[in-house]
Structure 1
Amino acid sequence: MLSKQPFQRRILIAFVLMTVMVSGLFSLSIVGVVHFIEEHLVSQEMSRELGETLNEDIRQGRPPRLDSSTRFFSSNNPDYAIPPEYEGLREGFNEVVSGNEAFYVYVQKINGETYMLVQEQQEFEARENTLFNVVLAGFLLTVIAAWGLGLMMARKVMAPVSRLAQQVRHRDQLHPLAPPLAPDYPDDEIGQLAAAFDSTLGQVRQSLERERLFTSDVSHELRTPLMVIATSCELIAEAPLGPREKEQVARIARASEEMRELVQTFLQLARDKSNEAVFVGDRTLTAVAHEQASRWGVLMKEKGLDFRLLEEGQDDGRYNATFLGTVMANLLRNALHYTENGSVRLILEAGAFRIEDSGAGIPAEQHERIFQPFVRGSQARGEGLGLGLSLVKRICAKQGWSVSLQSEPGHTRFRVSLNNGA
């Protein structure tokens, strides 16, 4: 449909169609007017020639002096008897088609007698064909010129729109110090559109800045109480405690460490990626995987799961340890929560890793929604809010990684590709 075509093409098509209509009507008008004038002139010429033939030849007893393409007929002279195909024609100018030939016939009635001149149309047809060819050539040249001119005009009209779209798409427009767009454009429709974008982008910047400040402030304020909790756990662990108390203290310390890492993740997510020092890779995939395996392997063993760390490929790249650890930890936590029995595998590849489990699986219709905030699977366990996979997706987008999901009853696989990572 035309409405789905690019705007520049729609301008071009509209311009060409308008030109075709105008030039087509003009060409048809030329042909019609010329044809009308030609018939009028032919009629006058044949009327004059018939009068001269009657006055100077027939009435003087001489045969008509006509060229080879013109013939004379009369109703009162057997030598010039009117052929049957010409009988009954109206007085004046007529056009008669006989087989593959066409003739102009001029009829005049004088004192009840009918006189006529019949002239072949070959000469007139040649002139008409020449006229038609000239008009057709002019029409085609006009359409071609309209196409070129329309293309040039469409590009010129769309140039500021394309420029504005490119500026809006540029990620620097979300920077707090990004210059406004409207001053670069005249006070017309494009300028009004740029002003509308300025207003909308300003609101987006304010919203992002509020979110960044909130995340940064909250994360920063949580550091002190988390440090107090961690220190207290260390002091309590040195006191003589029973096995159950030691287990509870270890659990608190572990939760505090997870919270500290999560706070660090939120702090880095809240920072602008233009600060490249924050996102420089400092750990290998293998090192991060061994750390997470040692932490989650104990919990999975306590639940009776068969957990293994497998290396299928060598990866020497370095990645942001906070982000990579958070992604891996969230996926391992999901595997732990949703696998009642069987196995969990953390598999390392070259530039990627997989986490596979033998849990209940995720229905196919939930594969896209499961990465959205506050969305939990149909087999949800515990009191989670459904933010883990959303955080994984957000970190991957921030780092240029990608996460994919394949799941069926009894087998779920998350794969994170790090090929585009820092």
Structure 2
Amino acid sequence: MLHGLPRKIRTAFLLQTLLASLAALLGGYLVLLVVKFGLVNTVLQEEAAHYWELHAASPAQPPPNTRHLRGYLLETGGSPLNLPPPLRALQPGFHDLREAGQLVLVDQSPAGRLYLVFLRSQAQWLAFWFGVVPVLLVLLAIYGASWLTYRASHRAVSPLVWLARRVSQWDPRYPDASELAPARLPADVQGEVRQLAAALHGMAGRIGDQVVRERNFTRDASHELRTPLTVIRMACEMAIDAGEEAGPVLQRSLLRIQRAGRDMEALIDALLILAREANIEPQSEWVDVGDVVRREAASAEVGLAGRPLELRLHINAPCLLRVPPQVLHVVVGNLLRNACNYTDAGHVEVEVEADRLVVRDTGIGMSPEALSRVFEPFFRAVPERREGHGLGMPIVHRLCERFGWKIELESEPERGTTATVRFA
């Protein structure tokens, strides 16, 4: 994901800011409670203690009466009717009279009860300055620090994001690393990111050169092989036409040479298709998979003479594909040859359905380890066998990928192998 790192950083800072804000708000709420029920209560208790000291020295001392504090004294044995109605039923202790807008401390002593009334509005004002204002300042500090830290982090990762975006736009077949050349890098790409860009630039250049060399070699080699193959095929056809009186052994040999030449020409055409760009469509035509299977089966049966191996064909449904014919011949031919080469006795079945081709044999099979490596170039499941060089299945796999087909292999040792090519 291109923007995964910036999104993660942004999310982390948002969560950090949110948690810090919740902590600050909770702290502010606790401060409000402390101011209302702690600070005011403590102040009123100190005022009550001070008043009783004055009252002990002079019983005529009146209760406190200031702008913010109003006091009432109910002497022992006195009538509570002289008190304001909200205070008459109060017991000793601290009380919050929301409807009256008052905070009241009732203090009991042998001389009577002292009622100290503090206005809730004044308590709220104190709570605002001692609770809300500090919380707001803390939140502003948190938001400012988070924003500055986020901007610094964003500037730190922006070169890496730029590099990731450029690399994601590369064509895997031809990675264009020209923007990663040292002279074209932005000024803010420094340090480890610059080293990484230089390494990617060099790697992409080597990959591009290697791809070009591979395609050029495949194209040139395939082109150069056509000339001797054409000569061999024409000479073989002339020998077959002129050798009507030749013995059956010579005739069979000439026919095998002719079929091998045609197979090689089909393989060269398939390699040329693989060497082309993926966006260049090869020349295609409608091909009946059943016809290709019959032709490749006829070629395979020539090599089965004298072997206890039966080749069975089941064309269950017509299957038409618009592809280069030689591609289908290479795919079917390789699958058939592999099945026949690795089956000493029993049978090889070929089934054609409307959307798939299945080649099933009763041969030696493969272990799970060999099955996982069967599409690797030059890998051979049984190295001691002389058949093949380990290139047939990799070529089949690449051709299937080129045309959007899916090849699946199932195999068990000593029980055979099943190859399925799904065309849809």
TM-score normalized with structure 1 length: 0.70
Displacement after TM superposition at 1:241 (Å) = 3.3
Letter paired with 2:173: L
1:221 deviates by 1.1
Q: Describe the shift of the 1:69–1:45 C-alpha distance in structure 2 as closer, same or farther (beyond 3 A).
A: closer
1:220 pairs, out of 211, 220, 223, with 223
Structure 1 residue 69 displacement after superposition: 11
Counterpart residue number, 2:205: 202
Counterpart for residue 394 of structure 1: 398
Distance 2:395 2:415 in 1: 25
**Alignment check: 8 A CA contact 1:167 1:173 kept:** no
Task: Report deviation, 1:173.
Answer: 5.7
Are residues 1:256 and 2:261 paired?
yes
Cα distance in 1 between the residues matched to 2:249 and 2:419: 35
1:327 — aligned with what?
A: 331
Distance across 2 between alignment mates of 1:142 and 1:347: 75
Change (3 A) 1:13 1:117: farther
**Partner residue, 1:341:** 345
> Relative to 1, partners in 2 of residues 1:169 and 1:287: Cα closer, same or farther, differing over 3 Å?
farther
Q: After the TM superposition, which residues 173-184 of structure 1 pair with which residues of structure 2 at under 5 Å, given as runs?
A: 174-175=173-174, 180-182=178-180
Q: CA deviation at 1:372?
A: 1.3
Partner of residue 18, structure 1: 16
Q: How does 1:77-88 map onto structure 2 within 5 Å?
A: none
SS at match of 1:325: helix
CA distance in 2, matches of 1:134, 1:348: 82
C-alpha separation in 2, matches of 1:265 and 1:29: 75
- The amino acid across from 2:352 in the alignment is L
Bigger mean CA deviation after superposition, 245-254 or 344-353? 245-254
Closer/same/farther in 2, CA of residues 292 and 37 from structure 1, 3 Å limit? same
Alpha-carbon contact 2:51-2:63 (below 8 Å) kept = no
Moved more, 395-404 or 372-381: 372-381
**Deviation of 1:364 (Å):** 2.7
2:376 maps to 1:372: yes
Inter-CA distance 410–25: structure 2 relative to 1 (3 Å threshold): closer
Would you say 1:354 and 2:352 are equivalent positions?
no
Q: Distance in 2 between matches of 1:356 and 1:129?
A: 86
Where in structure 2 are there 5+ consecutive unaligned residues?
Answer: 78-92, 95-103, 108-112
- The 2-side partners of 1:186 and 1:259 are apart by 52
Letter aligned with residue 228 of structure 2: P
Asked if residue 244 in structure 1 is aligned to residue 249 in structure 2, the reply is: yes
2:364 is paired with a residue of what secondary structure?
coil
Amino acid of the structure 1 residue aligned with 2:406 = S
Question: 302, 307, 321: which one pairs with 1:317?
Answer: 321
Q: CA deviation at 1:388?
A: 1.1
Q: Distance in 1 between matches of 2:118 and 2:63?
A: 19
Measure how far apart 1:210 and its partner are: 0.5
Code of the aligned partner of 1:251: R
Change (3 A) 1:185 1:249: same
Which amino acid counterpart does residue 224 of structure 1 have in structure 2? T
Aligned counterparts of 1:173 and 1:14: Cα–Cα separation in 2:
33
Match of 2:293 in 1: 289
Match of 1:410 in 2: 415
Q: Offset of 1:170 from its aligned partner?
A: 5.2
Q: SS state of the match for residue 405, structure 1? A: strand
Return the alpha-carbon distance in structure 2 between the equivalents of residues 142 and 303 of structure 1.
Answer: 89
Q: CA separation in 2, counterparts of 1:142 and 1:310?
A: 80
Which residue in the other structure is 1:59 paired with? 57
Partner of 2:303: 299
Match of 2:388 among 381, 384, 403: 384
Residues 383 and 308 of structure 1: CA distance in aligned 2, closer, same or farther (over 3 Å): closer
Question: Residue 275 and residue 404 in structure 1: after superposition, are their counterparts in 2 closer, same or farther (change >3 A)?
Answer: same
1:311 to partner: Cα distance: 1.5
Q: How far, CA to CA, are the matches of 2:416 and 2:22 in structure 1?
A: 69
* More off after superposition, 229-238 vs 163-172: 163-172
Moved more, 21-30 or 249-258: 21-30
Listed one character per residue, the Cα deviations across residues 367-422 of structure 1 (whole Å, up to 9, x for unaligned) are 22111112111486214221111111111111111100122333321000111xxx
Residue 287 of structure 1: how far off its partner (Å): 2.8
SS in 2 for 1:174: coil
Would you say the 8 A contact 1:70–1:118 is kept in 2?
A: yes
Cα distance change of structure 1 residues 316 and 231 upon mapping to structure 2, 3 Å threshold:
closer
* 2:235 is equivalent to residue 232 of structure 1: yes
- Distance in 2 between residues matched to 1:355 and 1:121, nearest whole Å: 97
- Identical positions, percent: 29
From the superposition, tell whether residues 284 and 319 of structure 1 become closer, same or farther in structure 2 (CA, over 3 Å): farther
Alignment match, 1:270: 275
Q: How many residues align?
A: 388
Tell me by how many angstroms 1:280 deviates. 3.1
- What's the counterpart of residue 84 of structure 2? none
TM-score normalised by length of structure 2 = 0.69
For residue 272 of structure 1, give the secondary structure of its aligned residue in structure 2: coil
**Amino acid across the alignment from 1:210:** R
Deviations 1:296-322 (A, max 9, x none): 233335534221221222223322212
SS at match of 2:420: strand
